[in-house]
Amino acid sequence: MPTTVIRVANTNRPAPPVPAPLAPLIDAHTHLDACGATDAASTAAIVDRAASAGVGHVVTVADDLAAAQWAVRAAQWDPRVYAAVALHPTRANALDDKAKAELEHLATDPRVVAVGETGLDYYWPGKLDGCADVETQIEGFRWHIDLAKRVRKPLMIHNREADHDLLTVLLDEGAPDTVIFHCFSSDAAMAEACVAEGYVLSFSGTVSFKNAHELREAAKLVPDDQILVETDAPYLTPHPYRGAPNESYCLPYTVRALAEVREQDPRALAEITTANARRLYRIR
């Protein structure tokens, strides 16, 4: 299994201040382990900070098998935490029979609300040691699609520079009832294609970046019932703290930026995205 770190947050910058609370909010995609959580106490500390900013629940997401096992434990430690399990597409070359059996077991846990993050990443092959090649990624993606359908849980997608092939594989395999494009980062044409298929688009701090013109145009096109918000912490910290370590408590910065782009009231958008997260992830 590849052990190279795929994304690294710049921890040389101080953490952003806690924003003015905005509630209710659900962080639809974060990585508590990468944020420094190791046990029940450190997990609770991160979620407590999130709660102070109005973020009442978080979904912690796996990149590899060990992270998937940890995510399920974290979701059992704290009722405010839910989990998503899968192998990241760059790690699809680790999807052997043993890994498949363990992921199938983990995916049935009641605290697991999605199969993810899976998908396709065409940026890293050839740049990252041990990265799965495109053919292996596609094979792994097909398997995760089937798993999501079998356990009847949302499919959480990672997409990097693979728009066409992702939509093609989903069409070929037959998409699960719920497909969530985590950290949507494509243009308006891709957003329109996803919306037409009924897919859900989740926006992270990248929508606040001043140079993300195409993404901001795409964000305007998403219907209220097909939108989520996330941090992808500890990465993608929203403006004006880009490059600093991210955490779930920073989600209000993203929601306020997204609301400005969409010309919506931030509190209304918070309520909309929270209702969507509860419905899609079946969070009571």
pLDDT (tens digit per residue) in 234-244: 999 999 999 99
pLDDT in tens, 74-129: 999 999 999 999 999 999 999 999 999 999 999 999 999 999 999 999 999 999 99
Task: Give the domain range for residue 161.
Answer: 25-281
Question: Within a domain: residue 229?
Answer: yes
Query: Does 5 map to a domain?
Result: no
Residue 2 has pLDDT above 50, yes or no: no
Q: Does a structural domain hold residue 4? A: no
Does some domain include residue 220? yes
Please check whether residue 110 lies inside any domain of the structure: yes
Judge whether 33 and 60 are in contact, CB under 8 Å. Answer: yes
List b or e across 226-249, with b for residues whose CB sees 16 or more CB atoms inside 10 angstroms. Answer: bbbbbbbbbbbbbbebbebbbbbb
User: Is 239 among the annotated ligand-binding positions?
Assistant: no
Q: Specify if 36 maps to a domain.
A: yes
**CATH number of the domain encompassing residue 86:** 3.20.20.140
The answer to the question of whether 182 is labelled as a binding residue is yes
Domain count within the chain: 1
pLDDT above 70 covers a percentage of the chain that reads 96
**C-beta atoms surrounding 70 within 10 Å:** 20
pLDDT, tens digit, for every residue of 252-272?
999 999 999 999 999 999 999
Query: Does 1 reside within a domain?
Result: no
Q: Is 117 annotated as a binding residue?
A: yes
- Residue 29, annotated ligand binder? yes
